[in-house]
Structure 1
Amino acid sequence: MSDIFSASCKAALKPLQPGSMFFLWAFIGLTITLILLSRRSRTRKLLPPGPPGLPLLGNLFQFPRTHLWLRLTEWRDQYGPIFSVNMAGQTIVVLNTFELVTDLFDRRSSIYSDRPRLVMASEILAGGFLLPAMAYGERWRRMRRVAHETFNVHASERFRPMQEREAALLVANILQEPKRWSYYCKRNAASVALTSVFLRPLTDSSADHIINRMDEISRSLTEASIIGTYLVDVFPIMLYLPEWLARWKREGREHHEAYTAMFERLMSDLRQKLQSGQFEDCLGASSLEAEDRGDLSKKESAWLAGVMFLAGADTSAGALHVLLLAMTLYPNALRRAHEELDTVIGRDRLPCFQDQKDLPYIDAIVKELLRWRPIAPIGAPRRCTQDNWYKGYLIPKGAIVIQNTWGMSHDTAYFPDADEFRPERFLETNGQAADFVPTTNTQKNFAFGSGRRICVGMNLAYQSLFINTACMLWALNVQKALDKNGMPIFPSRTEIIDEGLAVFPAPFECVLVPRLSGISQTISHIK
């Protein structure tokens, strides 16, 4: 009997054969997978509704690389104002109404202010210093505080004289070379950004190399921010690979060092200006003061200034392209703008910020531009930091939550004829509301985001868009270009170039001509 027991023990302790080991690990793996799938299935039933997907991969292959907002809006029409999708196990919840965004991003901002992890863009290329993508924590609060002190609603007013000069210069340049209007719109946006951050207006071509280099940095960071561009964003464990096995990691580190050197060189030049007595308010000056107080490190100060320039230049230029597209396609809106400008301003001077309260239609045009073709049609994603129940649905901890700005701005429940450009939506006539009067607060169209992560430069951006719109429409008539047969060319209303977080209308032709005699003389002193 004891021999039988001893033999049984030896058999039990005998190492498994390779084939047996394979089946054992396969069984364990299958069991774990089934448990995870079971849990995920139960959780899925608690989430907002959404499109069906594949096992494990979910809706991964249903996400387009570009124009994602159009797919999200299609799903909104099918599944409702709040829906969820599964990206290979990552839950994404999409918000499509003003009410939803206000309830979650504003009223529950304490758990909806974090960002999802962007390994390549934020951690490698930016080294953890990319403010818009930074985790909601102590560093973000310190850097954001400095930017807010410079660009809040009252502090931004100090930049208005500079913005008026830049708007006049934009008009003068277009009058001189009307076919290069796109270049001058981009140059205007870059000059305002450079001046408000580094005190370096683009008065000549001497700073063009800075603009070109900054454009390269912006494109690199934007491309890296698109999930799927780099596998490390899908499989973060790859971050721990040694550089000799991960060329992208070595190149990313080298790019980060080059970007940092660029930003620190600009800050060093600014410090020399300030020490020589050329003091004007700008974000860079505020960053240097914070650095001297010990509130920011040298690197934090440089990256804050550099990123704020990058964030402002492209978006402002895109909005001016939308303005000229709208004026080309909607001559009645242009005609009404001309009538208001002629009545309020006359023909002897350019508009200024003091005229804003007397130019409600120009202000309505600006608001409608931001609604009709939002430059950022999808808000930067948030990360939910704890399980949250909302309207009977579970938004689990770790879920990515997205504001579909395009879907919100084209919701026919709020905006009848949403695809049409109608500034009257933002007007009140004869004491009665027009078709839609959302608010007099420009933030409430959500073009600049919402909650604690709302765009910190929105006041400066709105000021630039208003004064540029007023000055360009005061000075210029916008006409359709003609083809070789003399027939008008209608630009595409729908074709959009998707460059990541910001978009531009597809290149189009229009004819810009002076609408008043003597305009060149009126603004000749600007040059």
Structure 2
Amino acid sequence: MTLTDITWLDLGLAGVGVYLVKQILTQKNPAPYPPGPPGRPLIGNVPDMPQVKPWLTFTEWGKKYGDISHVEVLGQHIVVLNSVKAAVEMLEKKSSLYSDRPVLPMGGELVGWKNTLYRKNFHRVIGSRAAMDIYQPIEEIETHRFLKRVLAKPDQLQAHVRHTAGAIILRISHGYEVKENNDPFVDLADLAVDQFSKSTATGAWLVDIMPSLAKVPEWVPGAGFKRVAREWHETLEDMVAAPYKFVKDQMAAGIAPKSFTSNLLEGRVLSAKEEHIVKWSAASLYSGGADTTVSAIYAFFLAVTLFPDVQKKAQAEIDAVVGPDRLPSFSDRDSLPYIDAVAKEVLRWNAVVPTAIAHRVIEDDIHNGYYIPKGTLVIPNVWFMLNDPRTYAEPSEFNPERFLAKKGKEPETDPRTICFGFGLHLADASVWMTVAMSLAVFDVSKVVENGVEITPEVDPSSGTISHPKPFKCSIKPRSAQSLALIQEDA
């Protein structure tokens, strides 16, 4: 049941109940709520909550009401943050009050993604650039294989990006080397992660606003969301169990390569609870890293299709530093500042997680004179933070030079300080490697069909994880020498 599936009569009745209970139980607030769209009698701000691309509606609220705006939906208070300053002041400086993470009834409870909260082992695996260094050979080998796939079938770019992201993270998480085509683990994980994005999308499910609906039987009219949740739960369970069983079988046979999972299992007899944590930790590593990387890398190809001058500058730097006789490697990173800037601009220009994951307030708070009650959901509008003209000049332009120091001008804010998330360092490494290798050997340009040049549309999808709209582009080797580099053994 989505917000559009429910009638105004249903909302009205529910709203009346909430309103009457609140009138009886609530006391006068110690301070006003932050400003926001005025609520309707009984139902509050239900009609104001966006279901498609909520970050655009939140941006409009920010322009009208300021960096902190507030709505109330059937008794649930929601605060939206529209600036980095507000996010830092509340989510970082007051983290003891704002660090709780809500478990959404649809995605968290009914589908089961709440189990991916087991992340205590992540920091030593992918929690810093230094921790990622051990996986650099995997990144380089799989990115070289990506070049080969693109060369063979350039019209299937999106599939190649997804395949490579899955290959890298499954090697790290489970020591699994993917099949070249139609890999069952990659296909299963892609399906589950797509369902995650849909099941946790801001404002998409009424049960997230009215948790009591989770107890409604599946056969009740209007409870189709329960059937959807059951099917998505089965997909998720398969995604978690199948690669975990692969690792255990490999270990039993004495042929398991080192991986996140094998390291946690090696030499230990685990209780059922411990095994649950290991299994879901590994699944969290995949679901948190793969889809963000797919979105960012696909956006890179869109950007260089639309902004050919960026491609020329990047290729000139690679030619000067690396030369034509080899592919770039991570050892070149410090010598390629423009390539580094391109990778940063990819993360800024394409907001992978445009509204981040909501926080929940643990106790009542007064912030900047505004009352933030216990239980309030706090949503950072990351998309606007990355497109705020107060922070980034001409934000719709793809301009890597904004991150390069110039005489009399400091670089603009590093977007990686805004792109919160444990998968950041994995995405950062994968994006950098793909940018460097791809530009070293490929020319990317607009497609010409029937004599007409096709300009791709910049239209990100809605969902917790946002992807560029599918587009066409031309990808060709830069030279005979580039072709030879691609065809070398990875």
Alignment TM-score, normalising by the size of structure 2? 0.89
Residues 68-117 of structure 1: CA deviation (Å, up to 9, x unaligned):
10111111111111111222221111111111111111121122121223
Q: Which residue of 2 aligns with 1:200?
A: 176
Structure 1 contact 227–234 (Cα < 8 Å) conserved: no
Deviation at 1:202, TM superposition (A): 2.3
Residues 480-526 of structure 1: CA deviation (Å, up to 9, x unaligned):
11131x23221123x2222x111111121111111132223223233
Q: Evaluate the alpha carbon distance shift between residue 95 and residue 40 of structure 1 in structure 2; reply closer, same or farther with a 3 A threshold.
A: farther
Residues 442-475 of structure 1: CA deviation (Å, up to 9, x unaligned):
631x11x2xxxxx222212211110011101111
Q: Evaluate the alpha carbon distance shift between residue 326 and residue 290 of structure 1 in structure 2; reply closer, same or farther with a 3 A threshold.
A: farther
The 3-state SS of whatever aligns with 1:496 is coil
Structure 2 contact 31–369 (Cα < 8 Å) conserved: no
Q: Evaluate the alpha carbon distance shift between residue 314 and residue 33 of structure 1 in structure 2; reply closer, same or farther with a 3 A threshold.
A: closer
Deviation at 1:417, TM superposition (A): 0.8
Structure 1 contact 197–283 (Cα < 8 Å) conserved: yes
Q: Which residue of 1 aligns with 2:160?
A: 184
The 3-state SS of whatever aligns with 1:394 is strand
2:40 is matched by which residue type in structure 1? L
Structure 1 contact 91–400 (Cα < 8 Å) conserved: yes
The 3-state SS of whatever aligns with 2:445 is strand
Q: Evaluate the alpha carbon distance shift between residue 155 and residue 111 of structure 1 in structure 2; reply closer, same or farther with a 3 A threshold.
A: same
Q: Which residue of 2 aligns with 1:144?
A: 119
The 3-state SS of whatever aligns with 2:176 is coil
Does structure 1 residue 123 correspond to structure 2 residue 123? no
1:520 is matched by which residue type in structure 2? L
Deviates more, 1:176-185 or 1:279-288: 279-288
Identity of aligned pairs, percent?
Answer: 31
Unaligned residue ranges in structure 1 (runs of 5+): 1-28, 132-142, 450-454
Does structure 1 residue 267 correspond to structure 2 residue 244? yes
Q: Which residue of 1 aligns with 2:443?
A: 477
Find the aligned partners of 2:17 and 2:286 in 1 and give their Cα distance. Answer: 52
Q: Which residue of 2 aligns with 1:225?
A: 200
Which of 470, 488, 491 is 2:456 aligned to?
A: 491
Does structure 1 residue 48 correspond to structure 2 residue 34? yes
1:248-259 aligned within 5 A? 249=226, 252=229, 256=233, 259=236
Structure 1 contact 146–290 (Cα < 8 Å) conserved: no
Q: Evaluate the alpha carbon distance shift between residue 194 and residue 479 of structure 1 in structure 2; reply closer, same or farther with a 3 A threshold.
A: same
Find the aligned partners of 1:420 and 1:155 in 2 and give their Cα distance. Answer: 33
Deviation at 1:301, TM superposition (A): 2.0
Structure 1 contact 124–253 (Cα < 8 Å) conserved: yes
Find the aligned partners of 1:302 and 1:295 in 2 and give their Cα distance. Answer: 10
Root-mean-square deviation (Å): 2.8
Find the aligned partners of 1:375 and 1:476 in 2 and give their Cα distance. Answer: 25
Does structure 1 residue 212 correspond to structure 2 residue 166? no
Structure 2 contact 77–377 (Cα < 8 Å) conserved: yes
Does structure 1 residue 164 correspond to structure 2 residue 118? no
Which of 208, 213, 238 is 1:238 aligned to?
A: 213
Find the aligned partners of 2:346 and 2:191 in 1 and give their Cα distance. Answer: 27
Deviation at 1:277, TM superposition (A): 4.4
Structure 2 contact 348–386 (Cα < 8 Å) conserved: yes
2:480 is matched by which residue type in structure 1? S
1:66 is matched by which residue type in structure 2? V
Find the aligned partners of 1:227 and 1:408 in 2 and give their Cα distance. Answer: 17
Does structure 1 residue 101 correspond to structure 2 residue 87? yes
Residues 21-79 of structure 1: CA deviation (Å, up to 9, x unaligned):
xxxxxxxx999946835987954961111111212322211222111101111111111
Structure 2 contact 441–486 (Cα < 8 Å) conserved: no
Does structure 1 residue 85 correspond to structure 2 residue 49? no
Which of 53, 57, 72 is 1:67 aligned to?
A: 53
Q: Which residue of 1 aligns with 2:470?
A: 507
Q: Evaluate the alpha carbon distance shift between residue 293 and residue 525 of structure 1 in structure 2; reply closer, same or farther with a 3 A threshold.
A: same
Unaligned residue ranges in structure 2 (runs of 5+): 1-14
Structure 1 contact 111–386 (Cα < 8 Å) conserved: yes
